[in-house]
Amino acid sequence: MTTKNVDLTDFGFVRAAAVAPVLALADPATNAQRIAGHLRQLADQHVSIALFPELCLTGYTCEDLFFSTGLHHAVRRALTTVSEATDRIVAVVGAPWRAPDGRLFNAAVVVAGGRIRGVVPKQIQPNYGEFYERRWFASGADVDLPVEDPDFGEFRLGCNQLFRAGAIHFGIEICEDLWAPRPPGIEQCLAGAELVLNPSASPEHIAKADFRRSLVHMASARGVSGYLYAGCGPMESTKDVVYGGHLLAFENGKALGESDRFSMDARTLVTEFDVERLHHDRAQNTTFAQSPRPGDYRRIRALDENPGLKTLTREIEPHPFVPDDEARLEARAREIMHIQATGLARRALASGADRLVLGLSGGLDSTLAFLVCLEALEKLERDPDRLHALTLPGPATSEHTLTSARRLAAAANVRLKEIPIHAAVRQHLEDLEHETRDDVVFENAQARERTQILFNYGNKSGGIVVGTGSLSELALGWCTYNADHMASYNVNAGVPKTMIRYLVRWYAGNRAGTALSEVLNRILETPVSPELLPAEEGRIAQHTEQIIGPYELHDFFLFHFMRNGARPTKIYHLACLAFDGLYPPAEIHRWLLTFVRRFFSQQFKRTTLPAGPKVGTITLSPRGDWRMPDEATAEGVLAELESIDPG
């Protein structure tokens, strides 16, 4: 397998589109021609499923024209035109449909392979405010009728239908169905639909778009599903209301895309839904997995195979833990800091501790822990002098980080106790008859000496030791067992490295005074290092990211491995898309191998983690989100990865 010939459908991606075409009101022939044109273009773009708005063949605002026999004959001819454009794609179009028993339904017609595969009637007819649907349409709730149509063959008219397009099953709810107290889309998801489609005619008014977006957002989250929404556009009648042509796509609570509104031209939203991710989330979410299943849904094959995908239209975020806009980042930073500080404050109260003891290295992680300590003390209405910061310079400490630690404490008016560990480490190594200064014994002796001092100082001062290690370090096992691996409470245990950098930057710009802000920015510019090998002329000798790889890559790997349950080959190809132009495929491949090896081999450290707060959707606590045997082997995963040719 190479990056050049990969088919992303092999990893569960299915491309779908929502379209708000330019409407010709009460003119099904023109609408069908326009829809057919969209279908051919979308098929050329490897789209599997195309969704069009409610009653798009006629227009939603036809009113009493829905009773016209001529309009219904025109709709049937229009469906023939649409079906001729569906040899490579599934189309879902809105149309009035007359049942053999005389009832008229507001329906979604599923067309694929040149014929109708099923008709789904709308279940809830709004009859309030500007809506008057019960004048024209019957409810489709509980309808399940066989149809033998002279023009379109055999299919069913009913709500209890799911349609399969290659790897994905979809259900349909129509406009008001989503607004109902019991939306049918949830039943469809429990019956096996990974995607819910909603052809809609939702008029605009102030704040309606926000409410609509929230409904779609929550429907996708509650159903652990994809949700695709297509609303009618401005060419509907504007006699009393205006339609905006709103298009939305969500996947298990995450926005995949949204159109602008009020365009007089056609609008199309194309995205991909990740079926593998949804299957993972549904298996992991025991509330969803254990919910009763409806047993009477029929599954109809609409498309045998999804067209291949060489790339994706949906954005693959290179920094999935970090919000991509400043407003969201500020809100997220405040929330994380509150969670960390509240967790630490509660822990201090429970332990009866009067003080917080922190090892301050002058690096990024201990700096964030330092700031969290200040916030926790403020929450407890205690003075900053209850924070006892210790800096413990040793054989490998650089002058740069030592200076940063001193300046940080001074800027926050916190007393810093400096305890050099050179003599203690030297004596310890002599006792072990160990003379080497560049091996794991030399490195770990320093880390364990520091931890010993911190805990013993905690006993002396009546304090608890605050841990500093990040989520990223725990994933990689980049910590010394029973040294910086251990604490009374680790406030950073749920925060990945990429987010720590942003949190410190946010604090510098929003919470810190001038002096503190200056030293925080100095620390942000310092290379990440464990500082366990001798400094070179006072400068940092070890650069973590040169040894184990860039943290932004490892955080990407961690997110997709744990949050999405992705296999490493999928993670690799997603990383190639996300970091295109930043890292060559060979480098991504190299560091992904490192991640897998270390993640599996270092589980024993995570099995014995101290307590610490969960702040995001991922934690490695053995009491929380992640339980894994220490002895698990990575051989099978590595073999699959090594079969990739990154060249």
Share of the chain above pLDDT 70, in %: 97
pLDDT computed for residue 4 by the predictor? 67
pLDDT for 197-228, tens place per residue? 999 999 999 999 999 999 999 999 999 999 99
Q: How confident is the model at residue 530 (pLDDT cuts 50, 70, 90)?
A: low
Looking at domain 326-642, its CATH class is alpha beta
Both tokens of 473, joined, read: 């370090």
Handedness of CA 358, 363, 369, 372 (dihedral sign): positive
Q: Is the CB of residue 99 less than 8 Å from the CB of residue 122?
A: no
Q: Is 614 left (phi over 0), alpha (psi -120 to 50) or beta?
A: beta
What is the mean predicted confidence (pLDDT) over 167-181? 97
Q: Does residue 249 surpass a pLDDT of 70?
A: yes
pLDDT computed for residue 437 by the predictor? 77
Q: Does residue 457 surpass a pLDDT of 50?
A: yes
Both tokens of 344, joined, read: 């630490």
Mean pLDDT of the chain, nearest integer: 94
CA atoms of 57 and 30, how far apart (whole Å) = 9
Handedness of CA 476, 480, 501, 255 (dihedral sign): positive
Q: Is the CB of residue 96 less than 8 Å from the CB of residue 287?
A: no
pLDDT for 532-544, tens place per residue? 455 555 554 456 7
Q: How confident is the model at residue 647 (pLDDT cuts 50, 70, 90)?
A: confident
Give Cα 463 to chain centroid, integer Å.
38
Q: Is the CB of residue 552 less than 8 Å from the CB of residue 597?
A: no
Domain spans of the chain?
Answer: 13-303, 326-642
pLDDT computed for residue 540 by the predictor? 47
What is the mean predicted confidence (pLDDT) over 448-463? 96
Both tokens of 355, joined, read: 């003080």
pLDDT computed for residue 328 by the predictor? 84
What is the mean predicted confidence (pLDDT) over 349-359? 95
Handedness of CA 483, 487, 490, 493 (dihedral sign): positive
Q: Does residue 31 surpass a pLDDT of 90?
A: yes
What is the DSSP-derived secondary structure letter of residue 394?
-
Q: Which residues contact residue 539 at a Cβ distance below 8 angstroms, ignoring those fewer than 6 apart? A: 398, 399, 400
Q: How confident is the model at residue 436 (pLDDT cuts 50, 70, 90)?
A: confident
Does 326-642 match 13-303 at the fold level?
no
Q: Does residue 361 surpass a pLDDT of 70?
A: yes
Give me Rg for the CA atoms of the chain.
30
pLDDT computed for residue 395 by the predictor? 86
Q: Does residue 528 surpass a pLDDT of 70?
A: no
pLDDT computed for residue 533 by the predictor? 52
pLDDT for 1-21, tens place per residue? 445 689 999 999 999 999 999
pLDDT for 290-299, tens place per residue? 999 998 899 9
Q: How confident is the model at residue 325 (pLDDT cuts 50, 70, 90)?
A: confident
Strands 13-20 and 267-274: antiparallel
| Site of tokens 């969670």 | 339
pLDDT for 308-321, tens place per residue? 999 999 999 999 99
By annotation, the residues acting in catalysis are 54, 122, 175
Report the CATH fold assignment for 13-303: Nitrilase/N-carbamoyl-D-aminoacid amidohydrolase (3.60.110)
